Amino acid sequence: MALKTVNAYLNFDGTASDAIALYERALGANVQYLQRFGEMPGSTFTGDDANRVMHATLALGSGTLMISDSMPGAAPSRGTAIQVCIQYDGTDDVDRHFAAMSEGAQVTMPLENTFWGARFGTLTDRYGVNWMFNAELPK
């Protein structure tokens, strides 16, 4: 069986709904599916735990971003082993998206034109997710 696609799956500790709202506003992501822990068959979760995101699928350009909250009491650790890379055809949206995602984020490389022919920048958003923005410059 051939590899079909690779998707990023982001895990949060009770802030998945906030992250989804940011990605909708800043990047134009569209929620395709969202289920909360309290909506699972036979769920015994109550209060804030019931409202945690069990699984969400967001359409982002031609890609898919999957998101969930961890189980209560099992917080994911913040790491640097993965980055979500957004590729753009041209530079129309990259500045706006980078600026919107920069709010409350740590910009690790400002968005700028590079020697390899792209407008590129990186940041770690307010939820600890590492993002790369790469827009090919016109030739």
When divided into structural domains, the chain yields a total of 2
- Regarding beta strands 63-69 and 53-60, do their DSSP bridges make them parallel or antiparallel, or are they unpaired? antiparallel
- Please say which residue of 43, 69, 95 terminates a domain: 69
Write out the residue range of the structural domain in which residue 49 sits.
Answer: 8-69
> Do 58 and 89 fall into the same domain?
no
- Is 76 within the bounds of a domain? no
- Where does a domain end: 44, 69, 94? 69
Residues 46 and 88 grouped into a single domain: no
Q: What is the pLDDT of residues 4-42, one digit of tens each?
A: 667 899 999 999 999 999 999 999 999 999 999 999 899
| pTM for this model (two decimals) | 0.78
